[in-house]
A and B are shown apart, each in its own frame.
Chain A
């Protein structure tokens, strides 16, 4: 088991001309944690990872690995493992040559290198492939070699830059689970960059959502998904429709209806978050646990494992509702043009503050 290190990121700023790639980012990454930096392309997530690796020099700020300040440390002295987006495996070396490379640089004895390379290969389930050339490997195998090379010298921090983006969907799903398992086995502090929200939710202990160079929310996958801190997070992670709500006498009102709400009601203007899979079709208005939204079905689309019903509410807002393709649910589906009662359980009725933090700085 590798002794992991926490990462302390303080007030990191990086500008390119007038664009803030990183805008005063503060982030505490716990020892042994799997943290994902999630954001759209150009959000600054990769820049932050490159600052951690030492490839990008920030304008100001502090990065500490444990107690060690590394902001001015060149990449080759940082001792962090990294998996590159396109693996960056050296084409002029074999698999074993690649994996042994960091050990060779550290002056490890030949026999020792051989042993540790074999061990790393078996960790990523590539036993016996040490003599292969890089161009003889499949995408998934390259991915594993890159991983083996990044962990063979037992770094205390592992960085990954969209490592699964080049793989097809089936393999990606498989590797997500495998990476997660490997992380549990090694206990290494891992910072993972992706733009794929599902991947982030699947793998991470915590997800840090970044947009326009700012850290918007950093929480567990469940919290991020259930209680997004801003409209951007609500829209970026999962699907959602946001409907502005009014206040009256301390109550939250939508279309003249007082909403039963879970959690605290945020100050200022806010919106109701409707996630398609949280809506259900109700037979009547009798169940007091539900907020009920009457509407008319516009379209029902079959998508394999689930179906989506598009409806328009009385206020004219378009919403969608997702249900699993199961005999009972499908049987209860209304047809196009029919009136429908959409229900949202009060525990899943969440208000999102209309924060101004999403505006580009």
Chain B
């Protein structure tokens, strides 16, 4: 049976277009494969060999047997959770304030948040060390002004780590929060007050739920970034705050133990994915809750 008018040619054109699209995305695909899929797979492969180079799960079992590893994971999550919480506490009011400003003023505010973003991470971290250490700015001024007698322990511990990490993570929280708050039509809050909600209730019943997507997005980004953070806890923690990334560094640098290091990396990755998955479920749950009319 003969084809319909030009049907074969039109089909060929469509194929040609699809092929061209695939060709265009091929370099990116190759790159992703080469720098993400291959190394991760290789790490996973390495983690399956014990110190004698025999195939075994000992790298993983050790993690669950040894208390020190458990402690490292607990520290990692503690630091990440605390950093996220402080970021929320600082960013939410700040973003809210910015979102109520005229756009031009808000842009200036955002600029001040982003400014540190463009300086080196290492420089910022050492700057905090200068500010927070035993004979740092804060302690010198505090003692000078008679606010306290003995230098406070602000650096080389959890405090210092948190200050540095919160500062570095702030933009990741402020940006999505600000964006989602800007998107909230001012009429919603007006409508709430017209219907009888005082400012507090209008905020909690209308503004806050509508800002949740931005808040959750910011929390996920900050939390996940914290999980794998290295420089800041290493410098400001003074060896007292050991996170997974730091343990990996020691294992490789000091003991040349790729197997255990890889296993740690794999577990951290799985935990991160689990968090992302949970967050995803939570976000959807939030939507479902919203549908119920709350």
Query: Which residues of A are at the interface with B, using a C-beta cutoff of 8 A?
Result: 53-55, 74-82, 84-86, 88-94, 96-98, 100-102, 105-106, 133, 149, 153
Contact = CB atoms under 8 A, between A and B. Distances in A.
A86 to B, nearest CB: 6
Contacts of B193: 74-76
Contact of A76 (B185, B196, B206, B294): B196
A1 B269 CA distance: 65
B194 A53 contact: yes
14 contacts: A53-B190, A53-B194, A75-B193, A76-B193, A76-B194, A76-B202, A80-B194, A88-B191, A90-B191, A93-B290, A93-B294, A94-B291, A94-B293, A96-B293
A55 B202 CA distance: 14
Interface in B266-285: none
Contacts of A105: 195-197, 201
Contacts of A53: 190, 194
Contact of A92 (B187, B191, B195, B210): B210
A288 B45 CA distance: 108
A84 B293 contact: no
Contacts of A98: 293
A225 B1 CA distance: 72
B198 interface: yes
Interface in B197-234: 197-199, 201-202, 205-206, 209-210
Contacts of B206: 90
Contact of A94 (B190, B195, B202, B292): B292
B188 interface: yes
A91 B205 CA distance: 12
A89 B191 CA distance: 8
B188 A90 contact: yes
* Size bracket, chain B contacts: 20 to 34
Nearest to A50: B190
A94 B290 CA distance: 8
Given A105-B195, A106-B196, A84 B190 contact: yes
Contact of B293 (A55, A93, A102): A93
In this complex, which of A85, A88, A102 has the most chain B Cβ atoms within 10 angstroms of its Cβ? A88
A106 B196 CA distance: 7
Nearest to B194: A82
Contacts of B192: 90, 101
Contact of B210 (A79, A84, A91, A96): A91
Contacts of B201: 105
Interface string B176-194: 0000000001011011111
Nearest to A86: B187
A108 to B, nearest CB: 11
Contact of B195 (A54, A85, A96, A153): A153
Contacts of B294: 92-93, 97
Given A85-B187, A94-B291, 12 more contacts: A53-B190, A75-B190, A76-B194, A76-B196, A77-B196, A80-B194, A88-B190, A92-B209, A92-B294, A98-B293, A100-B293, A101-B195
A84 B192 CA distance: 11
Nearest to A55: B190
Contacts of A78: 194
Contacts of B202: 76
A93 B290 CA distance: 5
A84 B195 contact: no
B195 A102 contact: yes
Nearest to A106: B196
A153 B196 contact: yes
A27 B218 CA distance: 51
Nearest to B209: A92
A-B interface, 10 closest residue pairs, ranked by CB to CB distance from nearest: A97-B293, A88-B187, A92-B290, A88-B191, A102-B195, A94-B293, A105-B196, A75-B193, A76-B193, A82-B194
Contacts of B185: 86, 88
Most B Cβ at <10 Å: residue of A74, A94, A102, A105 = A105
Contacts of A81: 194
* Candidate in B190, B199, B209 with the most chain A CB atoms within 10 angstroms: B190
A94 B210 CA distance: 14
